[in-house]
Amino acid sequence: MKWATRSAIHIDRAACAWLIRRHVDADAEFVFVADSAGVPTDATPFDMRGVDLSHHHGDCSFETILRRYEITDPVLWRIAEIIHEADLDDERYNAPEAPGLDVTLRALSMVCTDEETLACTSRIFDGLYEYYRRATLLGREPA
Amino acid sequence: MVVVLVWCAGAVCREVLGVVMARSSDPAGTGQWVLLSYRLPREPSTPRITVWRKLKRLGVAQLGDGLIALPADARTREQLDWIAEEIAEAGGTATVWLAQPATLAQERDLATAMAAARAEEYSKVADQATAANALPDTERERTVRRLRDELRRIHRRDYFPPSERDTARIAVENLAAPHTGAHAAKARR
């Protein structure tokens, strides 16, 4: 399936793309557009104004996708808190990791194309998933 | 002293007091701003308050009733887009605009007012840091953590850094390391 989002991706879009490929559509193909008018008709748009898989009622797009696809994995919801704070910084959650991840993504986007950023961050999110999976099992931060 | 910072597609020159923006690509020489024009029903009041808190957190300049502005960059544009979306979902109307002040003087007034608002916030932090010097170690450490968080929040909405920024940073760092802080702060200048 084809998925479309705004170009010059940042934390929420990078995390959404990873989430879509990992948990929604393993064969997902991503298209980056400058404006919502440029979304191909056969693509599902996300993290753009006026589309369903986007910010709603204070949620970031990552949280919206989790809700729409009824994903209840507590590890993904823990990651959602970090993405939310890195993206919106509204202190809805306590996520001290967020400012660091936000800077990492901003920095990456300065030296990477959107495709490269996706490739890079997909491994970062794989790692974060494993980290918080272990943390959930252990009930404390893994070594 | 003139510090040149990259901002948007142009350059911002910061003077010690006033803020002058230089942009050669257009006749007025002003920078690009992102504006949010919005209306929200008076009741229920919760969405109004939520939106207002979010705008305050972003350090917006209030241009009029339901009209606010921020210097345009990828982050500010996106943040205002999402707030516009939230306003629409709460039954209001909102449009996001890109605009340039027609004169440099107008832009300078806007930037000066924004810098003054941040200066006041930084001064409060500096005062609290100075007052906390007399506290016992554990309370002082707690205050350092709280004030560092506060500085980070102010920093995020500080588009035209006033000199109070350094004063506040030094006051908090001195509180963190009372015996070496003053020395270190001097060395950094």
pLDDT per residue over B31-81, tens digit each? 999 999 999 999 899 999 999 999 999 999 999 999 999 999 988 999 999
pLDDT (tens digit per residue) in B43-52: 899 999 999 9
B86 touches chain A (CB under 8 A): yes
Give which of A35, A46, A48, A49 to mutate to test B binding, by max B Cβ within 10 Å. A49
B78 touches chain A (CB under 8 A): yes
Burial class (CB in 10 A: 0-12, 13-18, 19+), B77: middle
Residue B166, classed as helix, strand or coil, is: helix
B81 touches chain A (CB under 8 A): yes
Q: Give the closest residue to B172 by CA, choosing from B156, B159, B154.
A: B154
A89 touches chain B (CB under 8 A): yes
Alpha helices in A36-73 (DSSP H): 61-68
How far apart (Å, rounded) are the C-alpha atoms in residues B68 and B36? 5
Instruction: Output phi, psi for B134, to 5 deg.
Output: -80, -10
Q: Structure tokens of B100?
A: 């340039």
Helix axes B181-188, B164-176, angle to 10 degrees: 150
Determine which of A65-74, B30-39, B97-106, B178-187 has the lowest per-residue pLDDT on average: B178-187
Residue with tokens 């210097």: B71
Q: Give the closest residue to A54 by CA, choosing from B38, B13, B81.
A: B81
Nearest CA-CA distance, residue A71 and chain B, Å: 23
* Contact call for A55 and B152, based on CB within 8 A: no
Alpha helices in chain B (DSSP H): 45-57, 74-89, 104-132, 137-156, 164-176, 181-188
Is the pLDDT higher at B146 or at B20? B146
- Considering only CB atoms, A89 lies closest to which of B84, B89, B156, namely B156
On whether the pTM is more than 0.90, the answer is no
How far apart (Å, rounded) are the C-alpha atoms in residues A62 and A78? 11
ipTM above 0.90, yes or no: no
Q: Give the closest residue to A79 by CA, choosing from A29, A140, A143, A11.
A: A11
- For residue B26, the model assigns a pLDDT of 60
Query: For chain B, what percent of residues have pLDDT higher than 70?
Result: 80
* Contact call for B85 and A90, based on CB within 8 A: no
Residue with tokens 């599902």: A44
Identify the bridge partners of residue B96 per DSSP, sorted by sequence position: B36
What is the 8-class DSSP label of residue A72? -
- For residue A56, the model assigns a pLDDT of 93
pLDDT (tens digit per residue) in B158-174: 999 999 999 999 999 99
pLDDT (tens digit per residue) in A93-143: 999 999 999 999 999 999 999 999 999 999 999 999 999 999 999 999 897
- For residue A35, the model assigns a pLDDT of 85
**Residue B29 confidence class, pLDDT cut points 50, 70, 90:** confident
B77 touches chain A (CB under 8 A): no
How far apart (Å, rounded) are the C-alpha atoms in residues B41 and A89? 26
Assess contact for B66 and B52: CB atoms under 8 A.
no
By DSSP bridging, strand B3-7 and strand B19-22 are: unpaired
Instruction: Output phi, psi for B19, to 5 deg.
Output: -120, 125
- For residue B118, the model assigns a pLDDT of 98
- For residue B179, the model assigns a pLDDT of 63
**What is the rounded average pLDDT of the residues B136-162?**
95
pLDDT above 70 (res B23): no
Give which of B81, B82, B145 to mutate to test A binding, by max A Cβ within 10 Å. B82
What are the Cα distances from residue B117, in Å, to B130, B151, B164? Answer: 20, 14, 11
Per the prediction, chain B carries an average pLDDT of 84
* Contact call for B86 and A49, based on CB within 8 A: no
